[in-house]
A and B are shown apart, each in its own frame.
Chain A
C-alpha cells in the first residue's frame, strides 16, 4: 500500500464552473466504486457476482417503462466511454420506438485495440455479469431483440470467461426466453474478432460481425437507422453498458454527483509508461491529472520534474507537455480546452529519458499497419507520415518539412471515411505543436554531423528556425486573397 502525502497544488481549475458544489474531485471512496472486483479478489463468475449484487432484483428494473430507463441514463450524464464521449442517454434514444418489421440489435464493442487501453479487459475478465446485466437492461430500454458482444480475437481467455458467464446466466434464467421472469426475450451472443484495430470503429465492427472484411461504411446512414444486417443497431462500449445497472440501482443523481458539469460519473483509468506503479484504477471524472499519476501510479519515474509529456487518452490523443499536465483535469471538456481529448483514458507517461519522436513514430507505424486501405488519405497518408517521421528521428530533414508534415496531417484529418485518419493525424500534430524544439534540435545535430554538399534542396530557402508562424501566416494570407 502506497503512502500518499497530500501536496497542495494551489489553484486547480482552468475553467471555473458556476454551479459545482464540490471544488475538488478525486478522492473516490470504495463504497462508491462500481467495479469492486477489478483485481479479481473474489470469484468473477455467478457465485461471486450474486454476492456483489449483480442480478439482484433485476426484474424490478425490467418492469419499469423504457422511457424511465432512458431518462435515468440521461439524468446521470453518462457520456460514451469508448472515446467519442457522446451523451449515452441521447444515443440510446435514437433507436426506433416502434419496429417497422426489422428487429433492433445492441452491439457491445469489446474490441479494445487502442494502445494504452486495457480497462475493458478487466471488466470482462473479472466482472462479466455486470456487463451482461447492463446489456440486458440497455437492450430492454431500446427494445432490442438480441445483443452481440464483439470481443477482439487476441482476448482468447477473456472470451472463454465471457462464454462461461453467458452459459451460467442462461442456466439461471436471467437471459434467454424470459429474462428474470419478466417476459422479455433477450439473447446475448459473443462474436470474436481476429486482430484488427479498425474493427473497433462502429461501422467496421458491424461489417466484421456480418462476416466481411472490416472496412468502415459511410455515415449517413447511421447504425441507428441501418446497422447490423440492415436493422437498427446501437454500438456502445463495454464500460458504458456495464455502468448502467449501477446507475439504475443507485439512481442517476448518485452517478451525477461525481465529476464536473457535463462530465459526470466515474471512469476506469489505465496508467502505463514511465511510472513507478502502472495500474488500472476506478476514479472520479475531473480528477487532476497530477493527482491521478502521483496518488495511484506512484508518480513519474524520477519525480514529477522528470516528466516530458503525457498522452492522456490512448494513442489517438495529442501529447501534452509538462506545463499543461500540471493543471489539467481528466475529463472531456478540460482536456478539449487543452487541445487534446479524454478518449479512452489510457494514460501514457513519458519521462525525459525517452525519445519522443521515436514514440510517435511507433504510433505512426501502428496506424499504418492498422489502416484498412479503403480511402486514399489514410492509406497513403499514414505511410507517408511514417516515412517522414523516420527521417525526423535521425534528423535528416529541413525545418520546412515540419510544416509540410503538419499540412499533410491536416489533409488526412477529416477527409477520411472513418476516424482512423483523425486518430493517425492527431499524435503527429501534438508532436509538432508541443515538441517542435526537439525536432529542430535533431535537425541541427544531423546537419552539424553531415554538412550539406552542393545538392540543390528545393525547400531550404524557406523558413528559418522557429519561424513556422510566419509560414502559417503566409498561408492564411493566401486564403484571404481568395475571398
Chain B
C-alpha cells in the first residue's frame, strides 16, 4: 500500500483551494475531512494510505492525525468496494418497517453476505446506522450519494437488475409515488399554502421594547426610593421614641 502513488487532479486542486478558504489560515487541519472525502471520491470510493499521506502533506499536519480521522469516521472506506456500494440502514425505525427483509433479498439476489463484494466487483453490501430518512423507511444509500427510500424486496431486486444492466434509477421514494416526507396515504397539513410576505413594523417594535425597559427601570427606581424613604422614616421614629424615653 505504501508503494501506490496518489495525486489530486488539477480540478480537485481548485476545489481544495475553495475548501481551505473557509477556515482560518492557521487552522488548516479543519480541511482534513473534506480533503479525505475528495480523495476517496477521486479514487473510486477507496481511500489509500498514499492519499492520506498526500492530504497530510497539503495540510501540513503530521500523518498520524489524518490516519486517526480516517479510521474514526464510518464513511471512509479503507478497503476496496464495488462500483455500487449499497449501504442499507438497519437501525430500529427502519428495522420495524422491514429492513431485514430488504437485506435478505439483496443477499439472496447477489449470492453474497452482508459486508462482502460480488465477484464482478459491482456491488458491495453493508449495513450502516441511521441515515436520517426514518419516515421513509426502509431505505438505502448508494456510494454515499443518492438515497432510495420506501423499499420492498421486489423493488430492491428490480433495482439491482437495473444497475447490473447499467441503468440509472430516480432517487427518492420508490413505492407509492409519495412526495418526500408526506404520508403515503396523503398529507394532512399544508393543504392550501398562502404565501406570506409580511414583516411587522420593526422600528415600532423596538420603540415598544425600549419604552417597556424604561418603564421597568422607572418602577425599580421608584421602589428603591420608596424603600429608602420607609427606612429613613423608621429610623427617625426610633430616634424620637428614644428621645421620649429619655
Contacts and interface: CB of A to CB of B under 8 A. Distances in A.
Nearest to B185: A277
A96 to B, nearest CB: 19
A59 B195 CA distance: 20
Interface string A261-291: 0000000001111101111111100000000
Nearest to A103: B24
B69 A270 contact: no
B209 A296 contact: no
Interface string A193-236: 11111000000000011111110000000000000010000000
A144 interface: no
Contacts of A281: 188-189
B157 to A, nearest CB: 23
Interface in A30-74: 30-31, 33, 36-42, 50-53, 56-57, 60-61, 63-65, 68, 71-72
A297 interface: yes
Contacts of B195: 36, 51-53
Interface stretch (A79-87, A112-120, A457-465, A466-474): A112-120
A209 to B, nearest CB: 6
Contacts of A229: 24, 27
Contacts of B76: 194
Contacts of A298: 183, 185
B203 A60 contact: yes
Interface string A103-133: 0000000001111111001100110000000
A11 interface: no
A212 to B, nearest CB: 7
Nearest to B193: A36
A384 interface: no
A31 B179 contact: no
Interface in B71-105: 72-76, 90-93, 95-97
A348 B74 contact: no
Contacts of B68: 212-213
Interface residues of A, number: 95
Interface stretch (B117-125, B129-137, B227-235, B237-245): B129-137
B110 interface: no
A279 B134 CA distance: 9
A208 B203 contact: no
B141 to A, nearest CB: 6
Given A63-B202, A116-B92, A279 B187 contact: yes
B237 to A, nearest CB: 41
B154 interface: no
Interface string B181-206: 11111111111111111111011011
Given A118-B135, A348-B96, A369 B181 contact: no
Contacts of B129: 113, 115, 197, 366, 369-370
Using C-beta atoms within 8 Å of the partner chain, give the interface range for chain B. Answer: 35 or more
B202 A196 contact: no
Contacts of A270: 134-135, 181
A214 B91 contact: no
A346 B134 contact: yes
A53 B193 CA distance: 13
A359 B96 contact: yes
B115 interface: no
B74 A194 contact: yes
B180 interface: yes
Interface in A395-451: none
Contacts of B59: 211
Nearest to A125: B180
A273 to B, nearest CB: 5
A155 interface: yes
A151 B146 CA distance: 16
A369 B90 CA distance: 12
B32 interface: yes
A348 to B, nearest CB: 5
Contacts of B192: 30
Given A53-B197, A194-B76, A350-B96, A40 B185 contact: no
Contact of A211 (B31, B90, B147, B188): B31
A482 interface: no
Given A115-B130, A249-B200, A274-B97, 6 more contacts: A39-B179, A191-B22, A194-B37, A194-B75, A211-B65, A346-B134
Interface of A: 1-2, 4, 28, 30-31, 33, 36-42, 50-53, 56-57, 60-61, 63-65, 68, 71-72, 112-118, 121-122, 125-126, 152-157, 189, 191-197, 208-214, 229, 248-251, 270-274, 276-283, 295-298, 311, 315, 346, 348, 350, 354, 359, 362-363, 366, 369-370, 372
27 contacts: A39-B180, A39-B187, A42-B193, A57-B199, A64-B202, A72-B205, A118-B132, A156-B145, A157-B147, A157-B171, A194-B36, A194-B37, A194-B69, A194-B76, A208-B33, A211-B65, A249-B200, A250-B200, A274-B97, A276-B183, A278-B97, A278-B135, A280-B182, A346-B93, A348-B93, A366-B130, A370-B129
